Structure 1
């Protein structure tokens, strides 16, 4: 069963598209709040009663008319939140709706039936259906793109409680909403319905939010922290906490609530706190009964007018954006659903993941609840346009691909079946380190509360050596062990020089034991080891090393062995034709973009298979411009040239590759053509140039992997052979019908187990196949390779070439050419509101030093 519903009928007659323009005087208004007010006006409802609005300047209607241009007049109090126009002085806007084009919905049926080109007319028609589907839910719920969230389900408390959860500090809550999207399939159009999650400000008192957002113990502490200080002349001034607390409440929509409040249904936007308290702030109160005005404090006013006594009379007042509207903070609550605009703490993020990760039966129940809440059969807009959606989920037939055998050292094999997991107990690595480990050392950071001691470090190193030898590693010398008390750069140098001095040669491995999870320390160690010395490094946490458990040693050794040229295990295919042909190179690529508040360039990362079985991958990375998704040709050449040359000299034995599989991650459907016309020619040129040939005449297969979708499969609970104990599809489950593309080669593959929650299949799209592969062969090859990810004892969700490319881009962030003194450039330490720097960032990453370790051509990123 799939979380998709057939669309049994959709409009096929012509729909007319119009352009909306709002003029305020001679200014063409662009503020969406102004547009929304005009769209909701009585004049619009009278002129375009069946209109569908895109939230901007476009609307659609079944009726054809020549357009109209009329005035829209608003009352002054409706404009209190609009900052771009002064409707109070001039409340008149001129709204025009003019014809633009016809949308031919019949083109969708033609395209589905014949497989004709997906041209602009089909895209326009599908876009209209998307907005048609959103129109009524947008009026009922809080809409965020294709997701809808509820702030009024009081009539259904069971669903209400199940669809939101407060996080650790209670100032933020994660809400579960509805996601819906139309998907074209071989059988027609279907509606994908799933759950979505988003974090909003908790609907609690404003003072309660201030306490939680600033980590105060209670409201009394909040009041004390905000008490005004006095300067040398006795004039009140802001406390040192004022700016921090004030910044976090500005822009919040709040509503007053107290006994006898006449404005319970009204909301206001917080402008900020005032440097005044209710007992000090004076107002003139006019008593209509007595006909006189009395000057009194705000505290006295509420006591006399509403018989309300303030619990916190010393708390600062809150001013709103509406003129002369001021309230004591304790009377205000956060109104409605407002998106949380701050980064979650580690604890909050962990709580969110835990709550969002629902098991398949629960997720299926939530998806069905979401479909019921949308009430498509009662949607007046869908009825008016003739769209009908089935109430029954799609049932499809899936296939279960055979899982490969896992081959370890000594020709020992293990059959994981469809469990997708195994262990390393009693097993050796398929391939140990290339050269005996003879020049290495362990440095531990001393002097911290959680630091490991010298004796504990020696015990850990002895167990490390013993475990590595048992697993097939070759160790010739005991390590140098040093206590590190210097700064990060100096401590890396101290360990490196200590190893070089003792063993009279370049170190092969640097191991650092740090006292905590400080990501800034990790970044500096990696940057120094990679770009200053070109030496493989491993960073460990002292708590795990003190515990000294065999499982931890095994996990660490998978990474260390890979960095030293080894291989954990190899997947042996059960179908002969799904193996990698001789002369095959596999390339994986991913482009990562900085998070909000981070103004560093996007990074393009590429991995290239380093042996015939594609169990090892080289990796390279370079900047790719500001938020540019398509990899530039010069960037691709710079990354690929040394790796392709290395592949030719080793795997190819002096010959260029005959076949190339190019696995690309993170590309939307609108950019598929650019992958074929820009990235593929760049790869061909890079291979030819690296192989000293005018052109490369090999064959290429281009596959895009997409995890950003909301399709989920739910096996039949009556068939125990099709699901794991949690009700999730078994690793190897393949779906290639009913919800796939109507005309292209694509499929959904579950290649992993879900440790928590409901697993997400990877949607693979084959954009080009010059090799002439059979579908079964490619599908089995991808599934088999997911079992030989080098640092795991489980199968992974996506082809390892893509997985490695993602790891490469994450690690290469540490190679940005910025001074260490400038602090972290990304991560939780950087604020989302961080302003854009005046000077552009460095356009190239720091190179990894070329030493005898050949770091850049190994698995340095693992």
Structure 2
């Protein structure tokens, strides 16, 4: 498929054996694939119902001989006859009006291809090759087989790819109208010489059945609108149960083409703020409020008239209902971001469930075992001494100075709470922070204080006044103690600090400080250390290093390591909310400073990064500038010879596009800095965080006894991988929860030039990349633990998160041009201005995002 080929398996580390959550399967029947066409066009649940009615006409002795995805594909274990192919007419009768209108549809099947069991056996035995498309089609077909049962069984709900939930099972209350359910995941995967099914426990977020208004209380209008979109509710005010689908909240654009458009006070208006034309109004037809209508028509006096009404019609013909007359129907999946409290509840629920490991000599289908190795932790170094590795993947900062600090900075602070107890705790924190900055070697001077504001920063004007004052006093760093849950204030501070004024900011959670005060400062020293680590990085310092001599055979003086990530807006976001791309890169062999460049993507939820050329150019220019200050290498070069890219945020189906679309942009960026015949070597490693592979210890050796997980540093590169692809799973960190199951990170080498050019022994090549990637999990500057994802990818993800803070203050996307003006220069300039996120020059070459 054009990816880098595996040279060998790694050998470094102490060997062990693990369970993997895979079951081996064999295909003992041929499978014949057919496409499904339905005319006229139908979608969603209507399409599924039509296909289900179509299949009901089949008579067969084997109920498993035909399966479908109820969208476009049907699979059969025996070839179908011409009569079975159709076309056949199907009369569609919806269960309720929200599923569309009744009608007659024509369904027809067309033969596509066959999957023969013998062909698959030959491929797994290395007798015959199997092309990429054939492999993908085989996996897709088998996944349709595994998911078919859930789609035709009552009380089962499917979400995402391969996730199944029992809708009448336990629903853990997460608060604010949401709940959590346990389910399972199953997906077919190819491995060396065998076909596997990946099985895992999964957890989904569902709407709690019951009163609709519970979803609205305590949320802002944007959050309410996203939560309620397409939610099915039942109402009984008509004297009978009726199912309705919520289109949204009341909006001033509703019904504008009707003769008597509704009068809407504003987006999300309440029952008093929405008036519509009622022909039955007495004594004469005219406008009536929603509140008065339900009193006059149905005798319903509303108890919660201040809540936003919901539109169960559409934009052209709105129908408004008060939330208190609606109940949420059970079994509906909620695709939304959880609040911090809901996330805590979700974690508590999820950690209760784990896969049961099979006993020895189990005769039933069993989880497979795979060989693994535990790599040695690298040496972590501070300015005057090496860290004491208390346990694998954990060390202590106490008594040590940062590798590079000693900054002359002017800093001050802002207290956001005004009570005496809060002020006392916060003053203790500031005093402790000043001491910690001195002990770690971060600063030369004590803090320069100007009168702190004893209240929160509530609006844009107050924020500007604060930063203007800081600017007048030449403040380099501003420490802000926030009131609990002030996300909007946090975003405003980050925008003004990072983008407008160029003043580094650190925001402190006031709730945490209160807890420290109530518990005799328990944990305050560690919290102060964490804050100090952030400050040193923001000021351009290096917190710690690792021993590079044992890390890699690559010359890190000539190697730029790049992290790239793309994050997409949550399902609850508005349609014009952009995706964010970020790139970070080291500036020298210390691997301590990783400045970032961030861009908005004009196409939301697009995984390929459109501005890679300019992003890499900026990183190469920074490397060149830093090289000019420290002098060229011995060979006279100032530019890196190797560029190792860790690319996060790509789904498995998009690997090839990274090579086809992104790699050419990266190469193009190098043309500005390198002669045509002396271009740098690239290696691109895909970082996969969202997968369902898990590993479990098989015995008492090499087990993390605190969490019952494999040891930090565990690496698996065989058993659940394919021999031809160069990939491996790495669990570099320790689980945070004592009963949680660690998710390893999957690293897939999409292309390699760096190691090919070095011509190392094959085993040494595999070991070098695995050891380097493991070591990169120990240089995350904000932590004294190894982290789960290698640091370049982790930093890129953090930079994307920071960019989200600026979203509300940045310009909206430009309107699309006319078809004949897509290459218009003015439009392209507006597009470039929209995508760019201009970090202030004071901070752009430092880790402002940390």
- Pairing partner for 2:600 from 610, 623, 639: 623
Change (3 A) 1:35 1:646: same
Change (3 A) 1:400 1:97: same
Q: Secondary structure at the match of 1:605?
A: strand
Q: Within 5 Å, which residues of 2 pair with 1:50-449?
A: 50-61=65-76, 62-66=78-82, 67-73=85-91, 78=95, 80-83=97-100, 86-87=101-102, 91-104=103-116, 106-114=118-126, 116=129, 118-140=131-153, 141-144=156-159, 145-152=161-168, 160-161=169-170, 164-169=171-176, 171-203=177-209, 206=210, 209-210=211-212, 212-215=214-217, 252=232, 268-269=243-244, 336-340=330-334, 343-358=337-352, 362-365=353-356, 391-418=365-392, 420-433=393-406, 435-437=407-409, 440-445=410-415, 448=418
Supply the distance in 2 between the matched residues of 1:758 and 1:43 (Cα, whole angstroms).
43
- Pairing partner for 1:610 from 587, 597, 602: 587
| Structure 1 counterpart of 2:791 | 800
Task: Report deviation, 1:410.
Answer: 0.9
Q: Secondary structure at the match of 1:429?
A: coil
Is the contact made by 2:799 and 2:849 (CA closer than 8 Å) also made in structure 1? Answer: yes
| Structure 1 counterpart of 2:53 | 40
Q: Secondary structure at the match of 1:763?
A: strand
Supply the distance in 2 between the matched residues of 1:497 and 1:35 (Cα, whole angstroms).
60
Q: Secondary structure at the match of 1:132?
A: helix
| Structure 2 counterpart of 1:18 | 34
Q: Secondary structure at the match of 1:847?
A: coil
Q: Secondary structure at the match of 2:712?
A: coil
Change (3 A) 1:527 1:98: same
Deviation per CA, 1:343-386: give whole Å up to 9, x if none. Answer: 5443223211221134xxx5123x889xxxxxxxxxxxxxxxxx
Task: Report deviation, 1:707.
Answer: 1.1
| Structure 1 counterpart of 2:482 | 514
Is the contact made by 2:533 and 2:782 (CA closer than 8 Å) also made in structure 1? Answer: yes
Supply the distance in 1 between the matched residues of 2:365 and 2:217 (Cα, whole angstroms).
47
Is the contact made by 1:495 and 1:510 (CA closer than 8 Å) also made in structure 2? Answer: no
Supply the distance in 1 between the matched residues of 2:129 and 2:628 (Cα, whole angstroms).
45
| Structure 2 counterpart of 1:285 | none
> TM-score with structure 2 length normalisation?
0.75
The answer to whether the aligner puts 1:734 opposite 2:704 as a matched pair is: no
Q: Secondary structure at the match of 2:507?
A: strand
Change (3 A) 1:255 1:139: farther
Count the aligned residue pairs. Answer: 720
Q: Secondary structure at the match of 1:657?
A: coil
Q: Secondary structure at the match of 1:795?
A: coil
Change (3 A) 1:536 1:696: farther
Q: Secondary structure at the match of 1:427?
A: coil
Deviation per CA, 1:387-409: give whole Å up to 9, x if none. Answer: xx961110122111011122122
Is the contact made by 1:405 and 1:572 (CA closer than 8 Å) also made in structure 2? Answer: yes
Q: Secondary structure at the match of 1:22?
A: strand
Is the contact made by 2:670 and 2:679 (CA closer than 8 Å) also made in structure 1? Answer: no
Task: Report deviation, 1:28.
Answer: 3.6
Supply the distance in 2 between the matched residues of 1:556 and 1:2 (Cα, whole angstroms).
39
Supply the distance in 2 between the matched residues of 1:22 and 1:722 (Cα, whole angstroms).
55
Is the contact made by 1:489 and 1:528 (CA closer than 8 Å) also made in structure 2? Answer: no
Is the contact made by 2:45 and 2:99 (CA closer than 8 Å) also made in structure 1? Answer: no
Q: Secondary structure at the match of 1:697?
A: coil
Supply the distance in 2 between the matched residues of 1:60 and 1:460 (Cα, whole angstroms).
65
Deviation per CA, 1:25-84: give whole Å up to 9, x if none. Answer: xx343454244234234653238973221221321222243332233345x57564431x
Supply the distance in 2 between the matched residues of 1:559 and 1:255 (Cα, whole angstroms).
52
- Pairing partner for 1:776 from 751, 767, 772: 767
The answer to whether the aligner puts 1:4 opposite 2:36 as a matched pair is: no
Q: Secondary structure at the match of 1:768?
A: strand
476-485 vs 42-51, greater mean Cα deviation:
42-51
Q: Secondary structure at the match of 2:445?
A: coil
Is the contact made by 1:7 and 1:190 (CA closer than 8 Å) also made in structure 2? Answer: yes
Task: Report deviation, 1:574.
Answer: 8.1
Q: Secondary structure at the match of 1:562?
A: helix
Is the contact made by 1:168 and 1:348 (CA closer than 8 Å) also made in structure 2? Answer: yes
Is the contact made by 2:416 and 2:480 (CA closer than 8 Å) also made in structure 1? Answer: no
Change (3 A) 1:489 1:642: farther
Task: Report deviation, 1:492.
Answer: 5.4
The answer to whether the aligner puts 1:856 opposite 2:824 as a matched pair is: no
Q: RMSD of aligned C-alpha atoms?
A: 4.3
| Structure 2 counterpart of 1:834 | none
The answer to whether the aligner puts 1:640 opposite 2:619 as a matched pair is: yes
Change (3 A) 1:846 1:428: same
Is the contact made by 1:630 and 1:675 (CA closer than 8 Å) also made in structure 2? Answer: yes
Supply the distance in 2 between the matched residues of 1:250 and 1:587 (Cα, whole angstroms).
41
Supply the distance in 1 between the matched residues of 2:542 and 2:719 (Cα, whole angstroms).
39
Unpaired runs of 5+ residues, structure 1, are 153-159, 217-240, 276-309, 322-326, 370-388, 823-838
Q: Secondary structure at the match of 1:856?
A: coil
| Structure 1 counterpart of 2:530 | 555
Change (3 A) 1:646 1:623: farther
Supply the distance in 1 between the matched residues of 2:620 and 2:752 (Cα, whole angstroms).
23
Q: Secondary structure at the match of 1:17?
A: strand
Is the contact made by 2:302 and 2:324 (CA closer than 8 Å) also made in structure 1? Answer: no
Is the contact made by 1:530 and 1:536 (CA closer than 8 Å) also made in structure 2? Answer: yes
Task: Report deviation, 1:647.
Answer: 4.8
Task: Report deviation, 1:312.
Answer: 11
- Pairing partner for 2:680 from 685, 691, 698: 698
Task: Report deviation, 1:802.
Answer: 0.5
Q: Secondary structure at the match of 1:396?
A: strand
Is the contact made by 1:573 and 1:579 (CA closer than 8 Å) also made in structure 2? Answer: no
Change (3 A) 1:38 1:779: closer
Unpaired runs of 5+ residues, structure 2, are 1-17, 250-270, 272-298, 314-320, 756-763, 814-829
Supply the distance in 2 between the matched residues of 1:602 and 1:729 (Cα, whole angstroms).
35
Supply the distance in 2 between the matched residues of 1:564 and 1:809 (Cα, whole angstroms).
20
Change (3 A) 1:762 1:538: same
> TM-score with structure 1 length normalisation?
0.74
The answer to whether the aligner puts 1:564 opposite 2:536 as a matched pair is: no
Supply the distance in 2 between the matched residues of 1:146 and 1:624 (Cα, whole angstroms).
29
Q: Secondary structure at the match of 2:481?
A: strand
Change (3 A) 1:692 1:726: closer
- Pairing partner for 1:843 from 821, 828, 834: 834
Is the contact made by 2:387 and 2:397 (CA closer than 8 Å) also made in structure 1? Answer: no
Task: Report deviation, 1:246.
Answer: 15
Which of the two has higher C-alpha Rg? 1
Is the contact made by 2:560 and 2:642 (CA closer than 8 Å) also made in structure 1? Answer: yes
Q: Secondary structure at the match of 1:363?
A: coil
Supply the distance in 2 between the matched residues of 1:330 and 1:843 (Cα, whole angstroms).
42
Supply the distance in 1 between the matched residues of 2:111 and 2:674 (Cα, whole angstroms).
58
| Structure 1 counterpart of 2:628 | 649
Is the contact made by 1:610 and 1:617 (CA closer than 8 Å) also made in structure 2? Answer: yes
Supply the distance in 2 between the matched residues of 1:728 and 1:581 (Cα, whole angstroms).
33
Supply the distance in 2 between the matched residues of 1:808 and 1:314 (Cα, whole angstroms).
46
Q: Secondary structure at the match of 1:167?
A: strand
Task: Report deviation, 1:215.
Answer: 4.5
